[in-house]
Structure 1
Amino acid sequence: MNPLLETLQAYPFERLRTLLAGVTPADKELIDFSIGEPRHPAPAIVSEAIIEHLHGLAEYPKVLGDLRLRQAIADWASRRFALPAGFLDPERHVIPANGSREALFSVAQVALPPCQTSKPLVLLPNPFYQIYEGAALLAGAEPYYLNCDASGQPDFLAVEESVWARCALLYINSPHNPTGATLPLEMLGWLIRKARQHGFVLAADECYSELYPEGGAPAGILEA
């Protein structure tokens, strides 16, 4: 077994289950906020599209995904983030994943350097999606927690240059879970310049990018 498995923390839902063991709510209906499963039926347009193409399930999917899917993703991202024509190449810049967790974990295994005498740092907002920390630990890196302030995001300008110099990977989350706070375009640009200055990988987790008040779409890393 990989000895680094011993460094992982208990998953929050496991800890919550332990805390709530034996607790029964009094005369109140239980509202389950645990794993985040959908509580509403899938939109009809989605269900009908799946049914219409069930015959395709007889084939193994390509690792890269179907080119039509990658093209659709590139087209959508280009519209959403106002990108120049041809900025995203579906053959080079897009790969589907089985949910954000797979991609967020894999990027650490690819981006982090092999074991060294000094562990590289993986910077992550705190509170955080636990896969950031787990990916860092299993890649042999050291998590470095950037506490969110009253804005709901970390104060990146307050991070010391010595920390940036050791950083190999930075996770950002905008809109942030659980605060909902977003990073403005100017800060995203500042982080891109900082990544280029110190040579670290900037992993932008924007899985909540389409949850926003009407007319208030948040900026994204591609736009920056």
Structure 2
Amino acid sequence: MTVVQNFQIVSKSLTEPIRSHKDLDKDSAPLFDKAVKFYDQIAKQLVHQGHVLDLFACAVDQVGVAEMKVAIEKTGGIVVLAESFGHSVFKDSLLRIFQSADNGLGLSFNGILEINCSKDVKIQGIIGPCSSLEKKSPLSADTVIGQGNTSAWKMCGLDKKTSLCFVYDISRKVGPDTVAQQTGEQLYLQFVTYYQHHEGQMRLRTTTISRQWASGAATVQRS
């Protein structure tokens, strides 16, 4: 296990107030970057062990959510934040979480998502509650959007409402002489998800989508 150093989001001196949103916007929060690096190390440990970090906090002042954001996002966690534990927003949000499924919370864990696709399609990245496994692949595009440069991602927690945005790039070179030939050819996208179901079984789900290339005004597109 990696040893992480102690961090602070505010000085121990009571005369110094905690950083505000304006301080973050002006980049005048001297402890912020160190705290983010601390939670980035925590996030790597959580992802490696398959844990989800959820945050339930109530305070009239800042509690350091901005610093913890990276660990929550990479593990697919949720945040419930209010001024008091008796606030209706906090109570209703907490109740809705535990009413999300008939048995348990309906959560699955330790998910690994891999993407396969046609040679003319490249993966730019994924936007959503996951973390890159840094699996190098010829399928990776040069331009990165979200978490890219990989063809596999870890999802510490997932359920029926988990949403991911996949961004692709068409890498095939198209010229006037090749449009007619390429129109009608097939391309495919495949999503392979391996995860532990909330009932305890390990499951593998594969979804494959096939489409045809279609000629556009000046290029070849998928239909």
TM-score by length of 2: 0.24
* Greater C-alpha Rg: 2
Q: Greater strand share, 1 or 2?
A: 2
Higher helix proportion: 1
